[in-house]
Amino acid sequence: MLVFAGLGNPGARYARNRHNVGRMALEAIASAHGFGPFRARFSGLTADGTIGRERVILLAPQVYMNESGRSIGEALRFHKLDASALTVLHDELDLAPAKVRVKVGGGNAGHNGLRSITAHVGNDYRRVRLGIGHPGDRTLVHNFVLSDFAKSEMGWIETACRAVADAAPLLVEGHNASFQNKVHLAIAAAGFGEEPSS
């Protein structure tokens, strides 16, 4: 069993914020793979289903970003899972828009959601980093991540979320590099991002 958590702040007010792109990707996975309706559990919303031959729980914490670890920790403890079963989808300031990278462990780069998760479950979980770009000045970051994507950005966002959803079986199988490559090919084919390096 695996847990995929999509980070974001709860409520309609934040739904289209840059900070919520992880949740957008999670919703795309639920739709693409026929997951049942989300229901309230673990201080969040969860949907159960299968991707490939693996049972996967999709979790959207319904606490603010900086408390994400509380919801995720509840889910892992209930299912007697450790951090190696966890994949977190989240926004990444240090990646250009439409770039997607995967890594296991590492620093939190000032991301309050990741900091909370690490505090609750340890650091050895997989992160799917969804690039949103950087406003160019540290003092602008707070307002930038809590502002909505522009209408002109929705094309690459929808493309990236769909590509992540389509390639999710590779994540389930642990093929991180292949997942990343497939996502980049799909994004590039739609005219966004860049071609992956060979």
Active site residue 111: no
Q: Give the tens place of pLDDT for each residue, 51-110.
A: 999 999 999 999 999 999 999 999 999 999 999 999 999 999 999 999 999 999 998 878
Q: Is residue 152 part of a domain?
A: yes
Q: Is residue 195 part of a domain?
A: no
* Residue 122, token pair as written in the block: 């340890």
Neighbouring CB atoms inside 10 A of 27's CB total: 21
Helix (H, G, I), strand (E, B) or coil at 132: coil
Q: What is the rounded end-to-end Cα distance, in angstroms, of the chain?
A: 32
Q: Is residue 196 part of a domain?
A: no
Q: Whole-model pTM?
A: 0.95
33: containing domain: 2-189
Pairing of strands 86-92, 126-131: parallel
Q: Which residues on adjacent β-strands are paired with residue 17?
A: 148
Q: Is residue 197 part of a domain?
A: no
Query: Number of structural domains, the chain?
Result: 1
